[in-house]
Amino acid sequence: MIRKAAVAGKFYDSDPGKLRATVDVYLKPGPAPAGRLAGILAPHAGYPYSGACAGKAFAALKDLSFDTLVIMATGHTMGLRRGALLSQGSFATPLGEVRIDADFCAELLKESKLFEENVRAHAGEHAVEVQLPFLQALKGDKVKIVPLLFNSDDDKLLEDAGRAVGRAMAGRKALFCVSSDLSHYPPGNIAEISDNSVLLALRQAMRNSSPGYFGLANRLLLSKTAGLMDTTACGQAPMTAGAAAALELGCNDFELLQYTHSGKVSGDDSQVVGYGAGYYTAASPKPGGALELSGEMKKELLALARSSIAVALKTGKTPQEPLHTRPEFNQPAAVFVTLTLDGDLRGCIGSLDPRGTLVDMVAAYAGAAALEDTRFAPVTEAELLKLKIEISVLSPLERVKSADAVKKDVHGVYVKSGRRSGTYLPQVWVHFKKKEEFLTSLCEDKSGLSGGAWRDGSAELYTYTVTAFTEK
């Protein structure tokens, strides 16, 4: 079976000579990957708009030796519950034919809950096809492809499918390409905020080994921009699966190579489409998973917390924050806000899970710490000026087998047994001399468990770290 070119003459030139000349111009290398490369992110729009961006990503593959390129792409033409494969034959472009790696596809199709043969999904789809001339210009007909489409919103399925792709790649000379554009049709200024937030979320998902984080980030962003754009990333599904594949292959980072949008080409910023290119890599040493916040950002968040308390005291609630110009503030975040008065605790409320964006959680939990901590009477307006505010931004929880993994003065600890649970932030270590005392108090005094639950295996133990900052 030869899958004929569906968008030649539309997304790219149908004349072989002109197409090859165009692609050669676009294949200009940018900065090389800093770590071992497992795959690339490349946009899939018409070449005049996104070709130069895609070409930079593909240029990094020029000197690499590989036999198979797995192209995880957006399925635009029909809804897909699973990954859709075209498992045999070849794809044709004006530059020739690219063979499908039938053995690789057959291995994936054994996972019938994750993948299916779906010829119809590929029939008029452009997201795989537009990547092929770049591959052909680099490698001729020496590299086979695995054409794979996703558009499910099931984060668990996408992670499982991506992990399966990673397992199938292991032991082969294979790389992957995630074919995805970003926001669709917002004004240019909104696109830049949303797109850079999405690309940062992809990096955070890799660094925290959490593909589901990326899906959550997109859902939160879309809730803030629903009236302005159709989607935050048309390839959210393959981007999630690509992150899972990279993690399965031992990678831990996403390196952004280039960002642009269609308005920068057309000059029309009224309705644009965003494009990003980058590398899925294994960085050494492993990058930290904590969200990087500058001193100025911390000051802004503390000011937001204080103003949110003031609003809560007057209205009884804190309003949801709009899309923020800082991509860091639009990331999903687990946050605790702690209030002290003359050195004594006056309120502390937060969440161990990222239930909203960083600014939403800071605003909400600041108001809640002031009014809803049942251990204290509500904060008064007279007290507000004297309050000192501390914000703790948490890393994802990590299940540990025993207390041996708990590091004094470093880790916060969460214990859980049945319906009972509790946590101490790392700041609480200051009240205890020994790890045993810290954990016993956490179980007995905070969580309503027996004091030895952390030791006898009756409670689950989780650790996390925090980025904490306080008003001066």
Q: Which of 251, 250, 215, 249 is nearest to 233 (CA)?
A: 215
Positive/negative CA dihedral, 307, 313, 314, 317: positive
Helix and strand numbers, DSSP H then E, in the chain = 15, 20
Rounded to whole angstroms, how far apart are CA atoms 337 and 388? 10
Distance CA 418, CA 68 (A): 47
The span from the CA of 416 to the CA of 453, in Å, is 9
Q: Which of 257, 282, 307 is the last residue of a domain?
A: 282
Q: Are residues 269 and 303 in the same domain?
A: no
CATH number at residue 343: 3.30.700.20
pLDDT surpasses 90 at 289:
no
Strand order in the sheet with 174-179: 115-117, 83-85, 144-150, 68-74, 174-179, 36-42, 274-282, 253-261
- Picking from 351, 371, 394, the residue at the C-terminal end of a domain is 394
Mean pLDDT of the chain: 97
Where residue 417 sits, what CATH number does that domain have? 3.30.1490.150
Phi-psi region of 340 (alpha: psi -120 to 50; beta: other; left: phi over 0): beta
SS3 (DSSP) at 307 = helix
* Long-range contact set of residues 407-414: C-beta below 8 Å, sequence gap at least 24: 407/463, 408/435, 408/438, 410/465, 411/463, 411/464, 411/465, 412/463, 412/464, 412/465, 412/466, 413/438, 413/439, 413/442, 413/461, 413/462, 413/463, 414/352, 414/461, 414/462, 414/463, 414/464
Whether 287 maps to a domain, the answer reads no
Instruction: Examine the domain organization and report whether 164 and 236 are in the same domain.
Output: yes
Residue 288 lies in a domain: no
Say yes or no: 137 and 150 in one domain: yes
* pLDDT value for 215: 96
Q: Are 25 and 244 in contact (CB under 8 A)?
A: no
What is the helix (H) or strand (E) element at residue 301, kind and residue range?
Answer: helix 295-315
Amino acid 160: pLDDT:
98
Query: Do 274 and 239 share a domain, yes or no?
Result: yes
Return the closest-CA partner of residue 44 out of 79, 88, 11.
11
- Is residue 265 situated within a structural domain? yes
Decide: 339 and 363 in contact? Cβ < 8 Å: no
Distance from C-alpha of 300 to C-alpha of 405, rounded to nearest angstrom: 34
What does the pLDDT look like over 4-32, one tens digit per residue? Answer: 999 999 999 999 999 999 999 999 999 99
- Residue 160 in any domain: the answer is yes
Domain shared by 188 and 247, yes or no: yes
Considering the domain boundaries, does residue 289 fall inside one?
no
What residue numbers bound the domain in which 165 lies?
Answer: 2-282
DSSP letters, 149-183, are EE----HHHHHHHHHHHHHHHTTSSEEEEEE----
Instruction: Find the CATH number of the domain harbouring 216.
Output: 3.40.830.10
- Identify whether residues 256 and 307 lie together within a single domain: no
Of 235, 256, 282, the domain-final residue: 282
Residue 433 pLDDT class (50, 70, 90 cuts): very high
In the structure encoding, which two tokens stand for residue 107, read together?
């291995």
What pLDDT is stored for residue 4 in this prediction?
A: 97
**98 neighbors 141 (Cβ within 8 angstroms):** yes
The reply to whether 405 falls in a domain is yes
User: Do 305 and 427 belong to one domain?
Assistant: no
CB 386 within 8 A of CB 341: yes
Q: What is the mean pLDDT of residues 312-320?
A: 92
Question: Would the pLDDT of 226 be above 90?
Answer: no
Instruction: Report yes or no on 257 lying in a domain.
Output: yes
Domain count, the chain: 3
390 & 402 share domain: no
Average pLDDT, stretch 202-230? 95
DSSP classification of residue 220: H
Residue 350 confidence (pLDDT): 97
Q: How far is CA 152 from CA 73, 76, 209, 234, in A?
A: 12, 11, 20, 11
Residue 344 sits in the same domain as residue 424: no
**Do 229 and 338 share a domain, yes or no?**
no
Residue 90 pLDDT: 98
Residue 121 lies in a domain: yes
The two three-digit tokens of residue 439, written as one number: 């954990």
Whether the per-residue pLDDT at 288 is higher than 90: the answer is no
Q: Are residues 379 and 435 in the same domain?
A: no
Same domain, 357 and 454: no
| C-alpha radius of gyration, the chain, whole number | 25
For residues 184 and 262, what is the distance between their CA atoms, to the nearest angstrom? 10
